[in-house]
Chain A
């Protein structure tokens, strides 16, 4: 570890209050639309179109367009869902948890991390609904009085999952929006054209920066943060219970909730890195997102990764320690079965690759960091796939064993969801401040006054 970086400044010298605001607001208000942005936008738009087509086809034909079968009745859709909602976690963690723990260095990262959360959760929310045999009845999971006089089945984890997602989506949306209000007001005031003034003005909800406003703003942020942090853990523990509740070998395990939360933060930090590095590069945010920020992110990624690796170890250990016939068989299947390559890919990405992060030189190398983060994202998707399929395709009775083969539409939905996410994110960087100006101004202020 390097003490140098720990004492490195959180903000490049020579940044003034005005400078910060100018730099960030100009990205939205003045900077022309780049060719690269257009290219990326076109690509994401195409993928989103693919997703839309897939959804229409799905609603017309049924989930049979995917490769699902008996025994593997869950596969891509659920893997995608868990993957996306996990990515969402880190955003809330960075902004809320670090906010509560008064970590100054979080300021420049919060905004785009929260945005990442909101979009990731929205995308993930699609899959639980689409994977239903009759998606148009998804609202039957909600308890509401109707002419049938029947209620949901409260023992099912899927039901609680439904609530968890909805709650998390609402809270993260609020938290994201509320924290943006002062910046929106800034943009309103700086906007040149009438249209933009109205647009930002509407969103700013008449923020005038009065002390009264700031007081309520601070209270609300604190409350929402306090609400969001437990959600980070509850939501993903809930997702984990979707599997733990099953009695399948490889699912029926009490280790899952902490394991899933760690995995969530792991992939979330990776995504934060994958988004942060390009932003920093293209929008010259080097002064705000300093090497020290990136270094911290990398360290957190490593920490979460190590926890995940530990869970892999424990899973295998308990299988052999418990000597349950089915657990052992399933574990051996993971190592050497038809889907062994999935397992080893996971290990390669989530265990081997991240070990490089021990070295400061790697953490300082943007390209390497980016590469490793992408690997982690891939690895975490494969982990979910492995978890679901390797338990299902060889369960209890040998007679009912069967393989899963993805169809074109399985791939299309995965690619499409990625497209949708980036589509939203690209729009975000064009119309909303990617760094929280209010937070940065506070940071500048705090750094400039002499510490007591």
Chain B
């Protein structure tokens, strides 16, 4: 940059004097005033070439431009298409195919988990992320946050240049300051980061602390693993990371443990869990939890109970099983006894696990139970954690130090405590007392605005690094594209402070494959560093008994905190895909709500959207309520990650900030909650408004027992397909079809967002979702059965059914939706005039209409993200699931070119690829040996609304539960 030439510095000095006193927004205003002043404009541009764009535009000129653009817009209608230009390479880079997609293996840390990924690039642009089948934490599946990382990369709101006191600066300026700092032993230097999952970063940290002995390194995660590790510590004397083997477990008891939704390794766990639920073989899952989770929704028996109730339940169970010297052996709760018996009957093949949100005694109990049941080494292993967990009060001690003025320099590495620190820690208040405050992050967020230095961080897809998955498996993170802006990674910043070379790639290779280029390239190619997983070290429990956990008086309300299912701790708040992705179970988008139980709603006469005041001690906030079937009666749940103040254009001010009620001592639960209705009401943007099946059985469900008695018990007596006058199947060589196994679907909505990423589906925004205009091509419906206190939950992904007799096709006047020879129901965007009759006539309502211009065709960086193989739909056009026709055609052309048949499994739809439990199968139903044909041959297979005789190509496998016969009464 030219802004560090001598004359620029002089100019900058002059500016600083001229600007003295101007702060914040006022500051920019002052700049514009300056820019008006001709003599200063000169200085300004010398000092800040970046600001040329800021030269003010007077009203007349603005109107002129506006008029011109309008006129052009008019002309565009009646002028010939623009002349395209072709710009050839000077030298064609090695192996850069003209247009075909290329995949690179890498790894991403997302939502408290680390996953291996394959990143799809077109002409060097990352456009899509798939799970890496070779990586143990992904196995090919991917979570919403993984899919959305590519949108984060192209987010126009990312900070683009270093800022010093809010003014554009350069990295060199910063390094100059750091150089000054590097003299001395680092007294007063503090570093704050999130949990460190990169071995290299950990090494750099150690090196830094060695170089600056007096310096301190703090860590803070709003949703970390503290309780889990502390729990193992109190059970085994040393903190250990439990690794569960659901493929071995026949009986599972989840104590408020959401191993399908939020636990590290969740994708691998989901895969193994679903594998065990293929009738006639099915495991059995018991869940006790205060607030509904994906795990509870999959459970064969789920009992809502308060936060402390879960602990009490664990103690009673331990008592009955004679473990840990707690409780007494004679409990007269039949259901609990039944569970105990069931677990006891499956020694070594059962599993008890406690969730991060439970206090350490409950964790300890779970581990003791596993030991008593002989599960350790079979269904659960323990490994040494990658690094000792930072003490809970790591951030607290930092705040104290800052308050006391002991901190001279604070370096915040990709953390945002000004937003996500608990309310009882005065971080934001104490920060200004630090003379030198440096923030490195993707966005100019709340913390960045309180620091005098903000440094743009290179995105994970732009930089070199390494990551360890939950089981210790290490992967290399490789850049897929040159940094879009002046961003650098935390590694580079630390390297600069340590005087290390800036070449992180070399650093990584020397760490993992010193001098072994072959191994290095293999690790890069496969995305996994061979046998780097940590070996299990299964200790025996040292704790004979566990401390009694506090039990609060029943009847009082309690407040539970949970990381947001899509936004996690708020770091993804500016990601439109994740904001608009309906939250599992609640189906809410764009914002959070206080989840309350139906009982409490009835007692307080509250309905969805009523704004209440939540008060804990003197802390309080206002939040809309959402009635949640399956919520414990007196428990209220709020999700973190919302109410961001400086997230960006997308995330600012969406929802409320639950951290305002949080304290760092008890991060997951606050007792003694006061709740008052305020009389206000706001309309929350939910995508599903009716939750009962109305006897129409869109989801066919039964129990394993019924299935074993008669496998076809869910098939109707009359023939499945009524007669028809229309011709049978289309003539094509292939017949594409899909089977969705509702028994495997855990409702994580990974398919929805994978589809959005693959098919250039636009984000429509909160208001449009409220109007019922969301555009997702595959939605995941959720139905409740049974009582509202403890309902059975059913998930149902609904893409286009590709009906053999499609009702949409007969009503389109222009033939914009037609059948092709291979049975696909096509939507031809460029022929569609938008009568919307097709949508009216679609009994599955899977069609989506561009009521307005939803696709953003202005923002350049978003254009770069799009999939070039899929048309971008404009206003006034109908669209819907195409079975990823671009993937079908690509495979078709490849096969036809070589004159061979398309192999089974050669075509994988985006939703199918993303599904962690492989619930979706796609392929050629004309081939009886294809996977999809086999799935459709199952006695549980059925089609939606078969009585309408639309003959869908998409069919479902019925949902089975495996309740405990001893508990049939409440099954």
Contacts and interface: CB of A to CB of B under 8 A. Distances in A.
Touch test A–B (CB under 8 Å): yes
Interface of A: 61-64, 67-74, 131-134, 136-138, 140-141, 148, 150-153, 155-159, 162, 242, 245-248, 325, 329, 392, 395-403, 405
Contacts of A72: 772
Contacts, number: 166
A63 B878 CA distance: 12
Given A246-B840, A399-B698, A151 B815 contact: yes
Interface in B49-83: 77
B834 interface: yes
Contact of B833 (A64, A140, A150): A140
B894 interface: no
20 contacts: A61-B852, A62-B851, A62-B853, A69-B851, A71-B772, A72-B772, A73-B840, A132-B876, A133-B836, A134-B875, A140-B833, A150-B831, A153-B814, A245-B811, A247-B843, A325-B696, A396-B844, A397-B696, A397-B844, A399-B782
Given A64-B773, A133-B877, A395-B845, A158 B811 contact: yes
Q: Secondary structure of the B side of the interface? A: loop
Contact of B845 (A70, A74, A148, A246): A70
Given A395-B845, A397-B781, A150 B815 contact: yes
A157 B811 contact: yes
B843 A395 contact: yes
B288 to A, nearest CB: 28
B947 to A, nearest CB: 8
B675 to A, nearest CB: 29
B876 A63 contact: yes
Contacts of B835: 131-133, 158
Interface stretch (B260-268, B307-315, B537-545, B684-692): B684-692
Interface majority SS (helix, strand, loop, mixed), chain A = loop
A136 B875 CA distance: 12
Contacts of B841: 245-248
Contacts of A401: 689-690
Contacts of B259: none
A70 to B, nearest CB: 6
Interface of B: 77, 688-696, 698, 768, 771-773, 779, 781-783, 796, 798, 807, 809-815, 818, 831-837, 839-841, 843-845, 847-853, 875-878, 944-945, 948
A159 B814 CA distance: 8
A400 B845 CA distance: 7
Counting from the closest, the 4 A-B pairs by CB-CB distance are A133-B834, A133-B876, A64-B851, A400-B845
A74 B693 CA distance: 25
A329 B695 CA distance: 11
Contacts of A136: 77
Contacts of A162: 813
Given A134-B834, A140-B833, A245 B810 contact: yes
Given A246-B811, A247-B807, 13 more contacts: A67-B771, A69-B772, A70-B773, A73-B836, A74-B836, A132-B876, A133-B834, A134-B832, A156-B810, A156-B813, A329-B694, A398-B694, A403-B772
Given A132-B834, A133-B877, A73 B843 contact: no
Contact of A134 (B771, B783, B877): B877
Contacts of B811: 155-158, 245-246
Contacts of A134: 832-834, 875-877
A9 B711 CA distance: 82
B450 to A, nearest CB: 40
A159 B813 contact: yes
A134 B691 CA distance: 35
Contacts of A148: 831
Contact of A153 (B688, B783, B815, B845): B815
Given A132-B876, A133-B876, A396-B696, A140 B814 contact: yes
Nearest to A129: B833
A133 B832 contact: yes
A397 B845 contact: yes
Q: Looking at A132, A156, A329, which has the most chain B CB atoms within 10 Å of its CB?
A: A156
A399 B779 CA distance: 10
A338 to B, nearest CB: 11
B727 to A, nearest CB: 14
A248 B948 contact: no
Contact of A400 (B695, B807, B814, B844): B844
A64 B813 contact: no
A247 B948 CA distance: 9
Nearest to A161: B813
A148 B814 CA distance: 12
Contacts of A155: 810-811
A64 B770 CA distance: 13
Contact of A156 (B768, B812, B844): B812
A152 B815 CA distance: 6
Contacts of B876: 62-63, 132-134
A325 B875 CA distance: 36
B771 A69 contact: yes
Contacts of A67: 771
Contacts of B815: 150-153
Given A396-B696, A396-B945, A248 B840 contact: yes
A68 to B, nearest CB: 6
A73 B500 CA distance: 62
Contacts of B832: 133-134
A274 B257 CA distance: 71
A131 to B, nearest CB: 8
A403 B696 CA distance: 20
Nearest to B944: A397
A72 B839 CA distance: 9
